[in-house]
Amino acid sequence: MSTWLSITLAVIGGLLLFWLLTLAALALVRPRGNPLTEAIRLLPDLLRLIPCLARDQTLPRGVRVRLWLLLAYLAMPIDLVPDFIPVLGYADDAIVVAAVLRSVVRHAGAESLARHWPGTDDGLAAIRRLAGLPPTSAP
């Protein structure tokens, strides 16, 4: 076997292994229950929320960078799971959004989420569930 063929097969195998490990990681961090369907339903409000949070200078820089990277990921035409695959195609985007929102809430607080939420109170309750928070804040 030629050296180039060996290298090509090794690179393809490595990329396939990386893709499978990424899918396994997404399966581990996905929210339980049906918040993924809620996230897909609330996508327009989420797409307004994320840039607002990313431009908020009161949030830590690392949080804002994560939000800008999330927007770049959502804008990319290439996904981890192609969108033409029923259900799973959009679920990977929702899982990534949920993981980033959990990280944002953990580092910036739930108040920043509520302060910038452009949608309804029911939508905010769904986003709080998606981010791993109770539906309403305790006083």
Q: How confident is the model at residue 1 (pLDDT cuts 50, 70, 90)?
A: low
Percent with pLDDT over 70 in the chain? 80
**Which of 79, 101, 77 lies closest to 19 in space, CA to CA?**
79
Distance CA 50, CA 114 (A): 12
Q: Which two tokens stand for residue 11?
A: 């690179």
Whether 68 shows a pLDDT value over 90: the answer reads yes
| Prediction pTM value | 0.65
- How far apart CA 65 and CA 69 sit, in angstroms, is 6
pLDDT cut 90: percent of the chain above it: 11
- 46-61 residue pLDDT tens: 888 889 999 999 999 9
C-alpha to C-alpha distances, 111 to 13, 44, 83, 136, nearest whole angstrom:
44, 20, 33, 11
